[in-house]
Structure 1
Amino acid sequence: MHHVKGTALRSKLFALAVASAFSMAAPPVIAQDAGADTDVSTGVDDGGLFRDIGFSFSGFVRFDSAFHTDSDENPNNQRTNPFNRKNTGRSAFPSAGLGSVANLQESLFPGVAGADIGRLLGSGLDTTIGNLLAAAPGIPSIAPRSTNPGHNDWNLNQLRGKFDVTLTLGSNVSIYSSLRTVYDFGTYDEFERGDSRDTFGNPSAPAGFNQRKSRYFEYADYQDGGGSCVNYLERCGDNYMADFTALYLDVTAGPLLIRMGQQQIAWGQALFFRVFDVPNGLDLRRHLILDDALEEYADERISAPGVRVTWQATDQWEADAYAQMFTPSIYPNANTPYNVIPSQFTVHETWTEKHRGEDFNYGLRLRGNFGNWGLQFIATQRYRHEGTFRWIESGAVKDLPGLPGTGAIMAGTPLEADPTGVWSANEWFTFAGSARLDGVEGLNTLVREFQPFTGLLAGSEIGGSKEAAARELDLFFSIGGGLAAGNLNGGGLRGHLIHEYHKEEVYGAGISYVVEAEPGSLFDQLIINVESHYTPERTFTEKSLSRDFIESDESVTALVMEKYHRWFQEFPATYMVFQALHQSDSDLFGQHLGCQGGTGGDPGTVAGEFNRKTKQCGDNKKGGSNNVVIALMQPFPNYIYRLTGAALLDVEGGLFLQGGFRWSPGNDLTFDFIYNYVDGNLYGDENTNALQAIDFADDFTIRAAYQF
């Protein structure tokens, strides 16, 4: 019901927007008397009713191309999963064999009675036991993940357009519209259903968020099998999108400005960091966070319909308030170049069904200027844009191979037998670590929170032992691959997650100071800005994907120092910025600093049980996350050339470097060359720095644009 209503609302809004844009794109044709606006005494036309109407149009057409420069492919996609076609260890069976049915049951189903195992396996029990005993004397490896490997030379090939229209209706009223269009040519090794087959040669099931042909913009809807556009006033498909980043009416009345319509609200100014930039989420579908850092998320920040009121109360104080339809951050879709969610998991999205057109975010900012000093205060009530993830019932009634009738049981668990899922304990722990999850507790939570169904599948909690967890996981993958049907090579199990959004309140304060020193000196006109915000009981994804989320108070503080300084008389001034960020409870991407999983060929590591009071995991003394940024921009004489650079260091051992060069040869042409380098394992434990999650994303970008 909500989905239908949300779709109808979006269609009406978009139709209204298109009609408005086209009406603004050409001067209005108005029938009137030839002499209606002519002064009869002078014979001069003074414009009359329409003398204050103004019109302007601008924009650009641009081609963006990003060449993949890293030897590592994106591990989160099906065709570039590092486990494809590679044997990996399986620990469900001791290499010396089991010897007897009793030993088999005790090894694989510790503490589970044979009758309970029989309820699961039914008439297939004897056959399964026989298969296990025959195979047990030493299967040290498992058949490799069956997906066809892929290789990508390109991360991005997109044709873009931006069309801005301003219509001035008088000295106090104006309308602004900005339409963005994007087409992705899809020049990558795309995933298709037939690329993944189980060990019986069957392809993956056609349904599901992560199992169809690659979608670059349309967000898959697991519930109805269709797709949707997350943004208001957006139309999208597999390879294209068109949206209004702005479509609003401005009305001024003395010190009051009222802005109504589709808009972005950018309170923050920092590069990479979003301390005060809390009203809107980010759309990461196009180029993740790898665009020009000095653009300050201008292309990523999501617009939404709302009302914003700005009041210049006094010469010193300004108040800025908004109410805006909630729109979440948008992650790249599965099997697209910059995907950050492992594609072995199906995500059930709640945005369309529960929030679209239903929920609003609200906020207020007070800003004061007192000579060289500045003060800011913010207070917002919002739904957190990133949301949380947890296990959910798959709802997929699909029998385990060789075990008829088990589909109803599987539907009550977060697991689904499918070759696009996880194939081994090693794969499970590797992706748990890279996603900042606890692989051992993830299994325990899956078993505990989905009884009695997981119990009927002989699932049991295994405490904190990674070896026991690996044994149980590999057993599940063996059964999921068709062990009961005589297939001893194992197979895939997909995990099902739900994406939910939680209300929170954010309070912040900031202070700035402009240094006055000897004119022309390095410190003269240096702007020092400190911003901090506090969120009580912020909700985070739990590291075992439990429905019992982590709730903790978080503070985020940033120091920003920026300045324009002229080093050489012949060159324009250089823009320089230094930033430092401290987050008490989460990393740069908003993931909680709790227990970590494992990586590599080892079954995995676990730091210990998470203590919600101390926000620590075992003996792991997490003191929050810290990041440092240095950036600069240097134009050349006549502004024909421009150099830019930015470096982001996660002090836990992650580094992001960006270098840029712009050439403006004239004739409204510009060419940008941007190199992005990410090292998520500079030093220390790679699982403890946020940048490891995008370590695969190195690229060299070329932008060719014509502006009008």
Structure 2
Amino acid sequence: MRSSEKRLIAGLMSSCALVGLVVPAFGIDFTISGFIQHQVAVKITDQENPNNQAGDPFNGQQVPLEPLGLDLSSVQAVNNLLTSLSLPSLNDLTSPITGQAVTIPPTGYRNVRSTSNDFNLMVTRLEVNMQASIDANWSASATVRAIYDWNPYKDVSGGNNFYETQFYDGGGATPLEYADKSFMVDLPNATINYTNGSFYAKLGNQQIAWGEAVFFRVMDAPNGLDLRRHLIMDPGLEEYSDKRVPGLGLRMSYQVTPEWEVEGFVQKFQPSVFPTPSSPYNIIPDQFTLHERYRGFSDDVWNVGGRIRGQLGDLGLQFIAVSRHNPDGAIRWTRSGVNKDISPLLPGSGAIAAETPFERDEAYGVKSQEEWFHYAGAVRLDGVQALNSAVDDFQPATGSLTAYNVGNSPSLAAAELDTFFWLSGGLRGHIERIFPYENIFGASANYVFSGSPGSFFEQLIGRVELTYTPNKVFTAPSLSKDFLVKDEWALAAVVEKWYRWSEDFPAAYLVGQYIYKSASDLFSRSIDGYGGNSTGLHGGISSYQAVAFAGFQPSPSLEWRFEWAVLYDLQGGWYIQPGVRWKPDDKWQVDLHATIITGKDNNNNAVSSIDFADEIAVRVTYQF
């Protein structure tokens, strides 16, 4: 039995001990509840995820290559190049080295089959919540969660993986999770709770939710997000409630006076979890292998933080400070460690190539400079400087392969890239994610306005959340080993209101929001990488700004609830999510939501990165 399985079983046993075995001993208040849910997301466009092999727009295309920037459109031109390199000439369009047919001009042909999918998601989920009230001071709680993906998604690289991670032996994202490619079982909550007057403490595996901004996390700093199950496509009004990554820790609070409360936590660091390769919501192009530097690097560090909250009449105040490792991490080039000759023309080069960020991958690697620059811009990187970093940061190995820094020249970059793509037949890049240390300081204020009775301003709530992170570490647009370091300010200005439009309907909930970040976007990517194009050149943007409007309107019987959440990126992108909820009784609930993503396709707004994910999603839930 693997150690992760032992940890999971031990966790399940401990939860039983917390909420079950105590009951016979004390005979006091044990409750169990939960739900079983089936969720399906149907695509509403024919656009495939370009980050997966089957969705690469270059599949089946003959993209002309120009090695060394030369015109190789004729046999004579190719033979002149081979002669200058002291290599054998072509004979009847057959390579004397490989014996294979040669295309003139040479092309970066991507011999990968594209697919067409009807579904983004098809999962069944079981969740069981257990609580035991031991006495007036002590209680315990645990949640067991199991999710199975039915895998209707077609990709071509083999073996779709929906949940298994690199973080722990059992594939889980936390110590109390076991994950395989198609299913996961975990304990998102397993705590012992203590209350004594104004003091409260919670010890165990838990999620800590701070802040209330829709779509956007400002004060919500303690935990990262698990994006494996449905990326950010769940209803926006749920405010990532199913996404926060739990961690083992201790959380305590004390009501100092009727107006003021202090709270603090110590929690084991757990990273945010990206969607896995070849899964429907994958966000890292599959021509690159991501190495997670958590095990042996950051798996034994702890986050600490605290906040002070006060209520002074209609004015609410909050102050936070968090010292943590950034759960989103920062990414850079790393050595591949793969001993494979960079080209059949360069026998014995494998040991050198293993010290560079690249390995030869003729099946699923990048095939041309056009593909390179296309994907660099899509993930908000600089295609020219990313090449330079791969060369400079891995000397002398890259120099031994004749790679060189091209400065700021897109044409030299294209020539060098095409040279190596021609020699190799395709290259796979290797990158790593590390989790830098940072401090976050924040404050928020909310005020309840007193308008005239029945007016729109009666009980209108205004709220501002602001955080400052000095020397925050970001992925550099060049993927340099030195990263990008900037101070960052994040702001959410929110107004919310319960408003009754008609005596025939219950009050509707309305929330409007302006969001601002000085150094990164909605997905925590540096805005310096914005605007990349086919030449690799870009200017970035000065700040990320967006506005959002969300809310819901119940029906007179409360059986129906009509919802909406809309985000507009001021750089020209829309995220639109209308929905309806039907709850005929206290057991059954059906949620139907559409997600529509549209906007300028110029790599200058955040949401265009996921515009492949337009869908209609339905959740059918039975509660017990």
Match of 1:366?
A: 308
In structure 2, distance between residues paired with 1:29 and 1:380: 37
In structure 2, distance between residues paired with 1:29 and 1:516: 48
Q: Which runs of 5+ in 2 are unaligned?
A: none
- Given that 1:54 and 1:167 are in contact with CA atoms closer than 8 Å, whether structure 2 keeps it comes out as yes
Match of 2:375?
A: 431
Is 1:217 matched with 2:182?
Answer: no
Which among 446, 455, 462 is matched to residue 521 of structure 1? 455
Label 1:652 to 1:105 Cα distance change in 2 as closer, same or farther (>3 A): farther
How far has the Cα of 1:63 moved from its partner? Answer: 0.2
Is 1:21 matched with 2:15?
Answer: yes
Which among 313, 320, 333 is matched to residue 256 of structure 2? 313
> 1:203-352 counterparts in 2 under 5 A?
213-220=159-166, 228-352=171-295
Query: 1:336-379 CA distances to partner (integer Å, 9 max, x unpaired)?
Result: 000000000011111122122x1000001001000000111000
- Given that 1:628 and 1:648 are in contact with CA atoms closer than 8 Å, whether structure 2 keeps it comes out as yes
Q: Secondary structure at the match of 1:219?
A: coil
Is 1:78 matched with 2:34?
Answer: no
In structure 1, distance between residues paired with 2:138 and 2:23: 20
How far has the Cα of 1:414 moved from its partner? Answer: 0.6
Pick the structure with greater CA Rg: 1
Match of 2:593?
A: 674
In structure 1, distance between residues paired with 2:247 and 2:163: 17
Is 1:173 matched with 2:138?
Answer: yes
Question: Which amino acid counterpart does residue 651 of structure 1 have in structure 2?
Answer: L
- Given that 1:575 and 1:633 are in contact with CA atoms closer than 8 Å, whether structure 2 keeps it comes out as yes
- Given that 1:76 and 1:341 are in contact with CA atoms closer than 8 Å, whether structure 2 keeps it comes out as yes
> 1:621-632 counterparts in 2 under 5 A?
622-632=541-551
- Given that 2:170 and 2:178 are in contact with CA atoms closer than 8 Å, whether structure 1 keeps it comes out as no
Which among 90, 94, 113 is matched to residue 71 of structure 2? 94
Label 1:101 to 1:335 Cα distance change in 2 as closer, same or farther (>3 A): closer
Q: Paired residues, what number?
A: 616
In structure 2, distance between residues paired with 1:420 and 1:332: 19
Q: Which runs of 5+ in 1 are unaligned?
A: 31-48, 107-113, 118-124, 194-212, 482-491, 608-616
Which among 535, 538, 559 is matched to residue 640 of structure 1? 559
Label 1:343 to 1:366 Cα distance change in 2 as closer, same or farther (>3 A): same
In structure 1, distance between residues paired with 2:347 and 2:554: 70
How far has the Cα of 1:180 moved from its partner? Answer: 1.3
Is 1:686 matched with 2:602?
Answer: yes
How far has the Cα of 1:605 moved from its partner? Answer: 3.7
Question: Which amino acid counterpart does residue 14 of structure 1 have in structure 2?
Answer: L
Is 1:540 matched with 2:474?
Answer: yes
In structure 1, distance between residues paired with 2:153 and 2:166: 20
- Given that 1:184 and 1:216 are in contact with CA atoms closer than 8 Å, whether structure 2 keeps it comes out as yes
Question: Which amino acid counterpart does residue 693 of structure 1 have in structure 2?
Answer: S
Q: Secondary structure at the match of 2:324?
A: strand
Question: Which amino acid counterpart does residue 636 of structure 1 have in structure 2?
Answer: S
In structure 1, distance between residues paired with 2:10 and 2:128: 17
In structure 2, distance between residues paired with 1:446 and 1:312: 54
> Structure 1 stretch 636-645 or stretch 97-106: which is displaced more?
97-106
How far has the Cα of 1:155 moved from its partner? Answer: 0.3
- Given that 1:90 and 1:139 are in contact with CA atoms closer than 8 Å, whether structure 2 keeps it comes out as no
In structure 2, distance between residues paired with 1:100 and 1:276: 62
In structure 2, distance between residues paired with 1:416 and 1:466: 23
In structure 1, distance between residues paired with 2:560 and 2:382: 48
- Given that 2:19 and 2:140 are in contact with CA atoms closer than 8 Å, whether structure 1 keeps it comes out as no
In structure 2, distance between residues paired with 1:654 and 1:191: 30
In structure 1, distance between residues paired with 2:305 and 2:5: 27
> Structure 1 stretch 227-236 or stretch 378-387: which is displaced more?
227-236
How far has the Cα of 1:90 moved from its partner? Answer: 2.0
Query: 1:5-36 CA distances to partner (integer Å, 9 max, x unpaired)?
Result: xx85x556533321133346657685xxxxxx
Match of 1:57?
A: 32
Match of 1:395?
A: 337
In structure 1, distance between residues paired with 2:115 and 2:577: 27
Query: 1:161-220 CA distances to partner (integer Å, 9 max, x unpaired)?
Result: 111111000111110111111000111113345xxxxxxxxxxxxxxxxxxx22100014
Question: Which amino acid counterpart does residue 20 of structure 1 have in structure 2?
Answer: S
Query: 1:205-244 CA distances to partner (integer Å, 9 max, x unpaired)?
Result: xxxxxxxx221000147xx9x8621223111101000111
Match of 2:465?
A: 531
Match of 1:456?
A: 400
Q: Secondary structure at the match of 2:187?
A: strand
Which among 123, 126, 149 is matched to residue 87 of structure 2? 126
Match of 1:604?
A: 535
How far has the Cα of 1:680 moved from its partner? Answer: 3.8
- Given that 2:73 and 2:105 are in contact with CA atoms closer than 8 Å, whether structure 1 keeps it comes out as no
Match of 1:445?
A: 389
How far has the Cα of 1:462 moved from its partner? Answer: 1.4
Question: Which amino acid counterpart does residue 393 of structure 2 have in structure 1?
Answer: E
Q: Secondary structure at the match of 2:16?
A: helix
In structure 2, distance between residues paired with 1:680 and 1:294: 22
> Structure 1 stretch 343-352 or stretch 661-670: which is displaced more?
661-670
Question: Which amino acid counterpart does residue 15 of structure 2 have in structure 1?
Answer: A
Label 1:624 to 1:664 Cα distance change in 2 as closer, same or farther (>3 A): same
Q: Secondary structure at the match of 1:186?
A: coil
In structure 2, distance between residues paired with 1:604 and 1:597: 11
Match of 1:704?
A: 620
In structure 1, distance between residues paired with 2:266 and 2:17: 27
In structure 1, distance between residues paired with 2:103 and 2:291: 39
Q: Secondary structure at the match of 1:469?
A: helix
Q: Secondary structure at the match of 2:503?
A: coil
Match of 2:350?
A: 407
Q: Secondary structure at the match of 2:266?
A: strand
Label 1:128 to 1:640 Cα distance change in 2 as closer, same or farther (>3 A): farther
Q: Secondary structure at the match of 1:126?
A: coil
TM-score by length of 2: 0.94
- Given that 1:678 and 1:698 are in contact with CA atoms closer than 8 Å, whether structure 2 keeps it comes out as yes
Question: Which amino acid counterpart does residue 127 of structure 1 have in structure 2?
Answer: P
In structure 1, distance between residues paired with 2:153 and 2:259: 54
Label 1:531 to 1:597 Cα distance change in 2 as closer, same or farther (>3 A): closer
> 1:555-594 counterparts in 2 under 5 A?
555-594=489-528
Question: Which amino acid counterpart does residue 183 of structure 1 have in structure 2?
Answer: Y
Query: 1:661-690 CA distances to partner (integer Å, 9 max, x unpaired)?
Result: 111122611111110011142xxx621111
- Given that 2:22 and 2:134 are in contact with CA atoms closer than 8 Å, whether structure 1 keeps it comes out as no
In structure 2, distance between residues paired with 1:128 and 1:563: 76
How far has the Cα of 1:468 moved from its partner? Answer: 1.5
In structure 2, distance between residues paired with 1:321 and 1:306: 11
Q: Secondary structure at the match of 1:89?
A: coil
Label 1:68 to 1:421 Cα distance change in 2 as closer, same or farther (>3 A): same
Label 1:533 to 1:128 Cα distance change in 2 as closer, same or farther (>3 A): farther
How far has the Cα of 1:596 moved from its partner? Answer: 4.2
- Given that 1:648 and 1:655 are in contact with CA atoms closer than 8 Å, whether structure 2 keeps it comes out as yes
Match of 1:207?
A: none
Match of 1:661?
A: 580
Q: Secondary structure at the match of 2:297?
A: helix
- Given that 2:82 and 2:89 are in contact with CA atoms closer than 8 Å, whether structure 1 keeps it comes out as no
Measured on the aligned residues, the alpha-carbon RMSD in Å equals 2.6
Match of 1:470?
A: 414
How far has the Cα of 1:103 moved from its partner? Answer: 7.5
Is 1:145 matched with 2:64?
Answer: no
